[in-house]
Structure 1
Amino acid sequence: MAGYRLVTYFNNEHHRKAGVLSGDTIYAASDLLGGDPDVLDILRDWESSQSAIEAVLGEAGSGAPPAGRLALSDVTLETPVQYPANFFCAGANYWDHLKEMAEFVKKMTGSAPSMEKAPEPWFFVKTTAGTLVGDGANVPIPSFSSQLDWEAELGVVIGRPVRNIPEADALSAIAGYVIINDLSARDLMRREGSPFVYDWIGQKCFDGAAPCGPWLTPAKFVPDPENLEITLKVNGVTRQHSNTGQMVHSLAEQIAYLSRHVTLNPGDLIATGTPAGVGMPKGEFLQPGDEVEIAISELGVLRHTMIAA
Structure 2
Amino acid sequence: MPDQLPTHAGPFALGTFASGASGEAGFPGLITGGRVRDLSDLVPSIRALVEEWDSWLPRLEDLARSTEGTWHELAALRVLTPIEPGQILQSGANYRKHVVDLVAAEKESVHGATPEEARADAELMMDERARNGVPYVFLGSPRAISGPYDDIVLPALGEQHDWELELALVIGKSGKNIAAEDAMDYVAGYTISNDLTTRDRLYRPDLKAIGTDWFTAKNADTFLPTGPFLVPAAFVGDPGDLRITLRHNGVVRQDESTKDMIFDIPRLIAYVSTTTTLRPGDLLLTGSPAGNGAHWGVFLKPGDVVESEITGLGHQRNTVRSGQ
For the superposition of Structure 1 and Structure 2, which TM-score range results when normalised by the shorter chain? over 0.9
**Could you tell me how far apart the structure 2 residues matched to 1:238 and 1:294 are?**
10
- Are 1:26 and 2:36 counterparts? yes
Contact 2:228 2:315 (8 Å CA) reproduced: yes
The answer on whether the counterparts of 1:170 and 1:255 sit within 8 Å (CA) in structure 2 is: yes
Aligned amino acid, residue 54 of structure 1:
E
Maintained 8 Å contact 2:10/2:236: no
1:299 aligns with 2:313: yes
| Per-residue deviation, 1:77 | 1.1
Asked if the contact 2:88–2:139 (Cα under 8 Å) also holds between the matched residues in 1, the reply is yes
Q: In the TM superposition, what are the counterparts of 1:155-194 in structure 2 within 5 Å? A: 155-194=168-207
The residue that corresponds to 2:98 in the other structure is 97
Give, in whole Å, the separation in 1 of the partners of 2:67 and 2:271. 41
One-letter amino acid of the counterpart of residue 90, structure 2: C
Mapping 1:48-63, distance limit 5 Å: 48-58=55-65
Match of 2:220 among 206, 217, 221: 206
What is the CA distance between 1:94 and its match in structure 2?
Answer: 0.5
Indicate how the Cα distance of structure 1 residues 171 and 304 shifts in structure 2: closer, same or farther if over 3 A, else same: same
Measured in 2, the distance between the counterparts of 1:188 and 1:107 equals 24
Shift in Å, 1:224: 0.4
CA distance in 1, matches of 2:224, 2:269: 20
2:15 corresponds to 1:7: yes
Give the letter aligned to residue 303 of structure 1.
R
Query: Does the 8 A contact of 1:117 with 1:248 survive in 2?
Result: no
Do the aligned partners of 1:9 and 1:19 also contact (CA within 8 Å) in 2? Answer: yes
Which region of structure 1 is more displaced relative to structure 2, 103-112 or 178-187? Answer: 103-112
The structure carrying a bigger helix percent of its residues is: 2
Paired position in structure 2 for 1:137: 150
Point out the more displaced range, 111-120 or 274-283: 111-120
Letter in 2 for 1:56: L
Cα offset for 1:57? 2.1
Query: 1:117-132, aligned counterparts within 5 Å?
Result: 117-118=128-129, 119-129=133-143, 131-132=144-145
Q: CA deviation at 1:109?
A: 2.3
Unaligned runs of 5+ in 1: 59-63
Aligned partner of 2:163 in structure 1 is 150
Q: Is 2:173–2:279's contact at 8 Å kept on the other side of the alignment?
A: yes
1:46 equivalenced with 2:53 (yes/no): yes
Aligned equivalent of 1:70: 72
Post-superposition offset of 1:116: 3.7
Partner of 1:115: 126
Letter paired with 2:45? D
Cα separation, 1, equivalents of 2:20 and 2:157? 37
Corresponding pairs, count: 299
RMSD: 1.5
Residue 287 of structure 2 is matched in structure 1 by 273
CA-to-aligned-CA distance 1:23-63 (integer Å, 9 cap, x gap): 200101134xx2x42010000000111111112223xxxxx
CA contact (8 A) 1:288 1:306 kept: yes
Counterpart of 2:6?
none
Q: Which residue of 1 aligns with 2:260?
A: 246
SS of the equivalent of 2:135 reads coil
C-alpha deviation, 1:192, in angstroms: 1.4
What pairs with 1:278-293 in structure 2 (closer than 5 Å)? 278-293=292-307
Once structures 1 and 2 are overlaid, which stretch shifts more, 103-112 or 202-211?
A: 103-112
Query: Cα distance, 1:67 vs. partner?
Result: 4.6
8 A contact 2:38–2:69 mirrored in 1: no
Question: Which has the larger displacement, 11-20 or 196-205?
Answer: 11-20
Give the TM-score, by structure 2 length.
Answer: 0.89
Assess if the C-alpha contact under 8 Å between 1:104 and 1:281 holds in 2.
Answer: no
Counterpart CA distance in 1 for 2:294 and 2:249 is: 17
Assess if the C-alpha contact under 8 Å between 1:77 and 1:135 holds in 2: yes
Q: Mind listing any 5+ residue stretches in structure 2 that lack a counterpart?
A: 1-8, 113-117
Q: 1:275 Cα deviation (Å)?
A: 0.5
SS of aligned partner of 1:208: coil
* Deviation string, structure 1 residues 252-309 (Cα, Å, up to 9, x no partner): 0000111111100001001100001011133210111111111111111112111111
Structure-1-length-normalised TM-score: 0.93
Per-residue CA deviation, residues 120-139 of structure 1 (Å, 9 max, x unaligned), is: 1110111102x000111011
State the identity %: 34
CA positional deviation for 1:210:
0.5
